Amino acid sequence: MVRVIVSTTSGPAAAPTAPSAPPRAAHAETALPTAVDVDAAADRLRGVATVTPLEPCERLSAATDARVFLKREDLQRVRSYKLRGAYNLMVQLTEAERAAGIVAASAGNHAQGVAFACRMLGVRGRIYVPTTTPRQKRDRIAFHGGDLVQVISVGSTFDAAAAAAAEDVARTGATIVPPFDDPRTAAGQGTIAAEILEQLHTAPDVVVVPVGGGGCAAGIATYLAERSPNTRLVAAEPAGAASLTAALVAGGPVTLDEIDPFVDGAAVRRIGALPYAVLSAREAEVVQIDEGAICTAMLDLYQSEGVIAEPAGALSVAALTATSIPAGATVVCLVSGGNNDVSRYGEILERSLVHRGLKHYFLVDFPQEPGALRTFLDSVLGPDDDITLFEYVKRNNRETGAALVGVELGAAEGLSALLERMESSPMHVEHLEPGTPAYRYLT
């Protein structure tokens, strides 16, 4: 049985619905992967995929009183583990399937793996990505694929891109390369587990992996179940796209009504049927992690370890605070990717500050009298507080009225005192809580 654990850092899960499943690949096999399949994939990937480092992390080890290692798939040849599954699948295609050309859908990392494989194998392909895919990822897809690959942006989510890819396959007869819902893809991703066991020379107590569509988690779970059955598997998914949790609650894959696309590498509305079959049968822990906690983990990894992790890449590290770790345990966190667009760091910092309780937004209705703003600055703000945003929501002829005010605190504990000073001031102040419609609309 899978234990579903909603962590203290998680937000509300999106409500699921249950429409019919999306069309499966015409050539996809139905059998679940095995450890033998993973070992065979490792042979195919030899000389193609990098054997990535397994590095001890002193900071996280001290914080958890355990031995924490980072499996650095951000150092893979395409800066994510996705190359493993994409190449393992494509190298097994028949000549006819290759000649038909390939089609793939991806939020960015699977696309880079597919593009790399296209160039290695001389196969032409069309890759559909959401319009929200960071430019850094789109540029890298084009670089890896060269003239063999066409990148097509469509829709705002992975699922929209997947629908467009399925329509392309139905229209052209091209060969689909699924990012997670195929045993060949999952087996390729499972080679990460084989490397971990070889590099540690012993069985880890806990392995923490990110979950989006679930192919990587399924491949790792498969290998550990057969080769290291006493290892706990913790599956971490973003709270704003908790498709695995929704499937476990419903008893099968369902489609989430809404998702937060911020953790683009794991923002999937519907867990894959194959990953669900594997993970629902494997005793594992599933934790939902707030996007702000993920951002904090990203910043800590960069500032302390010099690791540039994308949001999905930091999921496993963020999940450590929501996971019970016995003292002295050996823990492996999969840093799944490092394709992060530097232009996103403003939003990353913002989400981290809000998560840590250091950034707050207020609607302030200033009195229609001179000096109201000066009163707010002098008597309401604390000595370590700072205004980071001031914007009138509506104006009149005197340029006064309700204003959206962003305040960064010197310490999270200072919020109660700030609220007390606001309450005793002559101004009407509304504290905008994260996640509420007013907060999302105004910020």
* Catalytic residue annotation: 82, 336
Q: Comparing C-alpha atoms, which of 130, 127, 120, 155 is closest to residue 141?
A: 127
DSSP output for 320-373: GGGS---TT-EEEEEE-B----GGGHHHHHHHHHHHTT-EEEEEEE--SSTTHH
The secondary structure of residue 14, as a DSSP letter, is P
Per-residue tokens: 139: 């540029």
Q: Cα separation of 265 and 415, whole Å?
A: 34
What is each CA distance from 153 to 26, 143, 156, 440, in whole angstroms? 23, 16, 9, 26
Phi, psi of 386 (to 5 degrees): -140, 135
SS3 72: strand
Helix axes 183-200, 215-227, angle to 10 degrees: 50
Residues 47, 34: Cα–Cα separation, whole Å: 22
- Measure the CA–CA gap between 125 and 151, rounded to whole angstroms: 9
Handedness of CA 294, 296, 298, 304 (dihedral sign): negative
